[in-house]
Chains A and B, each alone.
Chain A
Amino acid sequence: MDVPSDRVGVDGAAVAPPGEPRRPLSQRYWRLFAFLRDRTAVLAAVVLLAAALGAVFAPWLSAHDPYEADNLLRFAPPGTPGHLLGTDQQGRDMVARLLWGGRVSLLVGVVPTVLASIIGLALGMLAGYARGLLDQFVMRVLDVLLAFPMVLLAIAIAGVLTPGVTTEILAITVVLVPYVGRLARTATLGVVTMPYIEAARAAGGSSPVILARYVLPNVLSPIVVYATTLMGLMIVVGAGLSFLGLGVQPPVADWGTMVADGRVVLRRAPHVTVLPGVVILIVSLAFNFLGDGLRDALDPRTARR
């Protein structure tokens, strides 16, 4: 079966054909095996797990306090005994700051994406299932949000409201909802014409039941794949907001504010800027690879050639 052009996600990736109802258990295990065979994706998952564990267990993993300044040991280069990755302009340990910074950065990348996926999924499914006026209204509102370049809207929202992690999360969530919503609607439109939906209706199933039991499972996988890739992008966008000072406020730092802090001492101690950027790059890349791996595992048809 050809994948019709309207089942193409926002990033141009093919969306899983919504044809089949739930697969039997053995086939779902098969998907897990398919994923585990994909070495790049497994490596990406390991990297992300390590980053998450590092953030969660930061107090136990780092020998230093991320806020403790040491005036005698400013600008220590990476490899200094006791400070594996050196210290910044206030003599604060880079390893400790990167681990603690991951707490905010990962939060800002993951939480808004999850929130936006839930909201976007609900809106998209409702619009695609109900059609008519509701569909028109929801889609026009999403169109308006899509009329802003992503970063502009995030900066405007985060900049106008009181800066902080909550604002940053809110800003990124609002920006993402239309992207997920559109994809969810397209996927739903493909599902609702399927015979098993008609059968469920004929059997007297109410709309909430049909949406939850038959539509949701079949539109979920493209959303999960898309959300995973988005997390990688949002790590970068969130770091950008923090870089502008619109996110987490000092003394707490995330990877974006660390890059901003390093900017003033770029000449003297480049590692203060370079290291957090490399971490952002690796984590963002890992989310992308994980997304690719999930796509291939969830939908064998689009497996890379």
Chain B
Amino acid sequence: MGKFLVHRLLGVLPVMFGVSVIIFLLMHLAPGDVTTVLLGPQATEAAKTELRHALGLDQPLPLQYGRWLWRTLHGDFGVSIATQLHVAALVLPRFVNTMLLTVASLFLAIVIGYGAGLFAALRTRSIFDRGTMVVTLLAGSTPPFWLGLILVLLFAIRLRWLPVSGMTDMAGDGGALDVLRHLVLPAVTTALGPAAIITRMVRSSLREALERPHVRVARAKGLSRGVLLRRHVILNALPPIVTITGLQLGYLIGGALLTEVVFAWPGLGSLLYDSITARDMPAVQATTLLIALAFVLVNILVDFINVLLDPRLRDA
């Protein structure tokens, strides 16, 4: 078990190296001159050359990459061009807010997906089952940013139950309840697509597990449905469900980026959007790198949970 974790964590290094190269090159490809952004259009050519030298932009590309990587590994993401703040200080609170939204959405997606999937699997071909399938199909194709706006229209503008956007009210106390009220719509918006896919997976995986011979025997023995599910079905059905839940995290993080913009949720997504609009490359770099790292680590966690659940995978 420990060996598995160490092996997977070591595997992160080459992947993150590749990720950092891609992000570095991408920023390098960005059109426009940093020195013009920093010094303004009136700057003389000499001043630009001097700044370029000070920033190390006149050095060969691999050397620039090495220096950037070295600083990044030490937690120095540079200074944001738009806000003149240290990017690390800018990114950290945003990261916490994004985590809050992502975890809340994941929780919702799991509760909805596992619940609806379980009921649909136990009542195959019932009205509930068919209805669930129709809804999951629709939810899977709905653009999340649009869904967010529709929810705002219904629950914030028409019914006035929930706030339109932001994370706290100006007049509010900024306490947990206030944040929670603001969290509902973005979390539902982000969760719906992944919840749909999880529902379908839970349903099909459970149906398959229910049809296995040992379950039929257990049923013939007269076990109650609850005992049957707990002892013989659920553990067998879990691995594909955990895998698909892990895959959904990718969509969830991606979806959260868009949702944050719709709801002005102060997380990494809206920071990424603002930084791109302001062409603030150090902030874009740090945000992208951080999200990718989180995504890679989460995937390892999912694999680890799967190994815990299914001993057969341990030797693989």
Residues of A in contact with B (beta carbons under 8 Å apart): 12, 140-141, 143-145, 147-152, 155-157, 159-162, 232, 236, 239-240, 243-246, 256, 259, 262-263, 266-267, 270, 273-274, 276-277, 280-281, 284-285, 288
Contacts and interface: CB of A to CB of B under 8 A. Distances in A.
Interface in B56-115: none
A285 B138 contact: yes
Contacts of B262: 263
Nearest to B32: A162
Nearest to A233: B141
Contact of A159 (B152, B201, B284, B296): B284
Contact of B143 (A150, A159, A263, A280): A280
Given A160-B29, A263-B149, A273-B149, A147 B141 contact: no
Given A259-B143, A281-B143, A284-B141, A148 B19 contact: yes
Nearest to B252: A149
B141 A161 contact: no
Contact of A239 (B137, B143, B277): B143
B226 interface: no
A61 to B, nearest CB: 24
B26 A240 contact: no
Interface stretch (B10-18, B38-46, B169-177, B303-311): B10-18
Contacts of A152: 253-254, 257, 272, 288, 291-292, 295
Most-contacted residue by chain B among A159, A280, A284, A288 (CB, 10 A):
A159
**Chain A interface helix/strand/loop/mixed:** helix
Contact of A147 (B145, B284, B295): B295
B251 interface: yes
Contacts of A270: 153
A150 B254 CA distance: 7
Contact of A149 (B143, B149, B253): B253
B36 to A, nearest CB: 15
Interface in B234-271: 240, 244, 250-251, 253-255, 257-258, 261-262
Contacts of A267: 157
Given A259-B143, A281-B141, A149 B296 contact: no
Contacts of B18: 140-141, 143-144, 147
A144 B138 contact: no
Contacts of A240: 143-145, 258
B71 to A, nearest CB: 20
Contact of B254 (A149, A232, A284): A149
A121 B279 CA distance: 35
A64 to B, nearest CB: 24
Interface string B194-226: 000000010000000000000000000000000
B155 interface: no
B308 to A, nearest CB: 20
Interface in B269-316: 272-273, 276-277, 281, 284, 288, 291-292, 295-296
28 contacts: A144-B18, A147-B15, A148-B19, A148-B292, A149-B250, A149-B254, A149-B291, A149-B292, A149-B295, A150-B251, A155-B257, A155-B273, A156-B284, A156-B288, A159-B276, A160-B281, A236-B141, A236-B143, A243-B145, A245-B277, A246-B276, A263-B149, A266-B149, A280-B143, A280-B146, A281-B138, A281-B146, A285-B138
Contacts of A280: 143, 146
